[in-house]
Amino acid sequence: MKKLLITGFEPFGGEKINPSWEAVKLLPDIIGDFELTKLEIPVVFGKAAEIVITKAEEMEPDAVICVGQAGGRTGITPEMVAVNLRFASIPDNEGIRPKDEPCVPDGENAYFSTLPVRKMTAAIAESGIPSSVSYSAGTYVCNDLIYHILHHFKNTETKACFIHVPFIPQQTEDKPNLPLETIAKALEIAIKAI
Ligand code: PCA
């Protein structure tokens, strides 16, 4: 059986819940060929990556999938790329607010995801759940996290990607959203498509 480390974030930006961790929690412990290890992580620059990389070093997973909330998006958006840039329009959960700093000083400008995001996206969309490939994970903690992971596991057998998910109905009245169960189903389909 292969090993998958899958993470979701704690709430941030004044929200009471984060659909990313709520959806990860709903997933079965085994999906397809993968046994899942689930981890809730803080919305803090640097710290989130440190926690995930430490856990991954310990369990040596075949794949790492990090999930985060992208409020305002209409569908499930696997991320194709991570950039070496931190710019926060709101402080993280420890009050850090970088303005145009690198994630990794002297690191590559960008890394591509090493899991098959296009195939994962197509599988989700074929099931009828809105999904499209995203070409920017932003410049906040989510991008920082996946940049660090792709940097750390460059040229190794540990493959990784990031998946952004929309709000759930409990968080908003007027912004795009998807039911939590639908988000969890989409993650399950994405994992099966690896
Ligand atoms: N979304 C934020 C950080 C935590 C989360 O769930 C982001 O997109 O950077």
Percent residues over pLDDT 90 in the chain: 100
Model-level pTM greater than 0.95?
A: yes
The tens digit of pLDDT for each residue in 5-28 reads 999 999 999 999 999 999 999 999
Helical H segments across 11-87, by residue range: 19-26, 47-59
The reply to whether ligand 1 has any atom less than 6 angstroms from the CB of 77 is no
Q: Quickly state the pLDDT bin for 38 (edges 50, 70, 90).
A: very high
What pLDDT is recorded for position 169?
A: 98
Q: Quickly state the pLDDT bin for 79 (edges 50, 70, 90).
A: very high
Q: Which residues are catalytic?
A: 79, 142, 164
Tell how strand 30-31 and strand 34-41 pair up: antiparallel
Q: Quickly state the pLDDT bin for 44 (edges 50, 70, 90).
A: very high
The reply to whether ligand 1 has any atom less than 6 angstroms from the CB of 66 is no
Domains of the chain as residue ranges with CATH: 2-193 (3.40.630.20)
**Pocket residue to mutate for ligand 1, from 7, 10, 12, most atoms within 8 A of Cβ:** 12
What pLDDT is recorded for position 117?
A: 98
Contact in structure between 113 and 145 (CB atoms under 8 Å): no
Q: Quickly state the pLDDT bin for 176 (edges 50, 70, 90).
A: very high
What pLDDT is recorded for position 12?
A: 98
> How far is residue 186's CA from residue 194's CA, in Å, rounded to a whole number?
13
**In ligand 1, which atom is closest to the CA atom of 140?**
9
The reply to whether ligand 1 has any atom less than 6 angstroms from the CB of 166 is no
CA of 30 to the centre of ligand 1 (A): 26
What pLDDT is recorded for position 52?
A: 99
CA of 36 to the centre of ligand 1 (A): 21
> How far is residue 23's CA from residue 194's CA, in Å, rounded to a whole number?
19
Backbone angles phi, psi at 145, to 5 degrees: -65, -50
Residues 6+ apart with CB under 8 A from 131: 75, 76, 77, 78, 121, 124, 125, 186
When the pLDDT of each residue in the chain is averaged and rounded to a whole number, the result is 98
Burial of 185 (0-12, 13-18, 19+ CB in 10 A): buried
The reply to whether ligand 1 has any atom less than 6 angstroms from the CB of 165 is no
Burial of 85 (0-12, 13-18, 19+ CB in 10 A): middle
